[in-house]
């Protein structure tokens, strides 16, 4: 009996010891730190992972770009505009950026369309840009002076037309190493008063034009190279009869390019203006014969015809938009079938902005 009692007592004591050990084990598991890689219980990602992705760019969206118009040299040696996607500049120095993309062997190289090349001498650096009252002054490195004489006008024209596409730039002045240029360093083209679009681009020389009754005008004609269609500005003398400048411009466009090139003649030779052009509050009204249309039945005017007219006519300071009508045609449309319900502006073709 006594042995039996002692055996029961020992058994009870061992059981209590086992229970106590289990209870203490549970407490120690709760107090342990989680492993370093453990995720949050609610399933949220580790903040450190987010920071690392942001730092190396994996979680960022692709770099933003903006379309800019650059005047480059085409396969025929003509200065012509091309619209290219450039990175959005962090410093907002748009003028400096577009000039950097005119430099040979510079960042534009990978973006150049077939047949095109940059115009500024390789190695040219943009040291500074200042804009005041419509004049932009560009400071360039000494490398700018290293070019062939035949390239001088092309350089001036490309820089001027690229920069004056912006609404608040009318004139371009140049410096080299902080010193104002009075003349270009190779052929001596005068630039002391700056360069503007009025100086011309791809100038057509002619011995047959009556210079006394003519005016030098910049006109746009389309051309094509390896399925890339673009417009080339050319400055040529146009005879102005009876002081009607706008009619003279339209007639010159109908007649086509003044010399043999790969520039396209986009008008039907039978096209005529029915009435004299009328300018009202910046809008030039033109009324053509039906021969101007590409598709008379549906009133379709070729896109190249419309763009040739708008690009050329809005080069005139007084013209902001062109309103085209066709005799005995109620409404006209573009080649996509969209009806022209209001005058066409240059901005609808080439978006512009301020620097």
Would you state the pLDDT for residue 289? 98
Helix (H) or strand (E) holding 126: strand 126-132
pLDDT digits (tens, 9 = 90+) for 174-190: 999 999 999 999 999 99
- Burial of 312 from C-beta contacts in 10 A (0-12 / 13-18 / 19+): buried
Helix (H) or strand (E) holding 171: strand 171-176
174 has which bridge partners? 138
pLDDT digits (tens, 9 = 90+) for 316-338: 999 999 999 999 999 999 999 99
Would you state the pLDDT for residue 15? 44
Judgement on whether residues 184 and 228 belong to the same structural domain of the protein: no
Would you say 204 and 181 are in contact if contact means Cβ atoms under 8 Å apart?
Answer: no
Strands 344-345 and 321-326: antiparallel
Judgement on whether residues 279 and 325 belong to the same structural domain of the protein: yes
The domain boundary, picked from 140, 164, 198, lies at 198
Judgement on whether residues 188 and 277 belong to the same structural domain of the protein: no
Domain span including residue 169: 65-198
Judgement on whether residues 338 and 229 belong to the same structural domain of the protein: yes
Confidence (pTM): 0.78
Would you say 178 and 139 are in contact if contact means Cβ atoms under 8 Å apart?
Answer: yes
Residue 48 lies in a domain: no
pLDDT tens track, the chain, 355 positions: 444 444 444 444 444 444 444 434 443 333 334 434 333 333 333 333 332 332 223 333 456 999 999 999 999 999 999 999 999 987 778 999 999 999 999 999 999 999 999 999 999 999 999 999 999 999 999 999 999 999 999 999 999 999 999 999 999 999 999 999 999 999 999 999 999 999 999 998 776 667 778 899 999 999 998 888 999 999 999 989 888 999 999 999 999 997 767 899 999 999 999 999 999 999 999 999 999 999 999 999 999 999 999 999 999 999 999 999 999 999 999 999 999 999 999 999 887 777 7
Judgement on whether residues 311 and 338 belong to the same structural domain of the protein: yes
Would you state the pLDDT for residue 63? 60
**What distance in Å separates the CA atoms of residue 121 and residue 151, rounded to the nearest whole number?**
9
Nearest to 232 by CA among 197, 268, 264: 264
Judgement on whether residues 135 and 194 belong to the same structural domain of the protein: yes
The domain boundary, picked from 198, 226, 242, lies at 198
Helix (H) or strand (E) holding 6: helix 2-31
The domain boundary, picked from 147, 171, 198, lies at 198
């Amino acid at each position: 009996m006594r042995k039996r009692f002692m055996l029961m007592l020992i058994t009870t004591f061992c059981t209590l010891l086992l229970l106590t050990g289990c209870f203490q084990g549970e407490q120690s598991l709760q107090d342990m730190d989680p492993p370093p890689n453990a995720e949050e219980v609610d399933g949220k990602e580790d903040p450190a992972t987010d920071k690392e992705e942001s730092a190396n760019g994996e979680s960022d969206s692709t770099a933003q770009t903006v379309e800019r118009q650059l005047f480059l040299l085409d396969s025929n040696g003509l200065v012509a505009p091309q619209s290219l996607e450039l990175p959005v500049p962090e410093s907002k120095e748009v003028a400096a950026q577009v000039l950097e993309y005119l430099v040979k062997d510079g960042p534009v190289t990978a973006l150049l369309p077939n047949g095109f090349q940059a115009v500024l001498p390789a190695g040219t650096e943009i040291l500074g840009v200042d804009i005041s009252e419509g004049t932009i002054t560009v400071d360039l490195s000494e490398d700018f002076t290293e070019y062939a004489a035949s390239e001088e006008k092309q350089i001036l024209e490309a820089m001027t037309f690229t920069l004056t596409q912006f609404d608040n730039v009318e004139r371009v002045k140049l410096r080299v190493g902080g010193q104002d240029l009075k003349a270009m360093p190779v052929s001596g083209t005068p630039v002391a008063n700056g360069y503007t679009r009025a100086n011309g681009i791809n100038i057509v020389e002619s011995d047959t034009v009556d210079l006394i009754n003519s005016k030098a005008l910049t006109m746009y004609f389309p051309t094509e190279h390896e399925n890339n269609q673009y417009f080339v500005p050319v400055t040529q003398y146009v005879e102005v009869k009876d002081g009607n400048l706008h009619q003279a411009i339209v007639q010159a466009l109908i007649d086509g390019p003044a010399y043999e090139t790969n520039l396209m003649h986009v008008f039907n030779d039978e096209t005529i203006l029915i009435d004299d052009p009328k300018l009202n509050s910046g809008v030039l009204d033109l009324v053509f014969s039906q021969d101007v249309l590409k598709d008379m039945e549906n009133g379709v005017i070729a896109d190249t015809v419309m763009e040739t007219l708008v690009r050329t006519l809005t080069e005139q300071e007084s013209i902001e938009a062109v309103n085209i009508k066709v005799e005995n045609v109620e409404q006209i449309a573009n080649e996509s079938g969209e009806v022209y319900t209001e005058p066409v502006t240059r901005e609808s073709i080439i978006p512009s902005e301020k620097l």
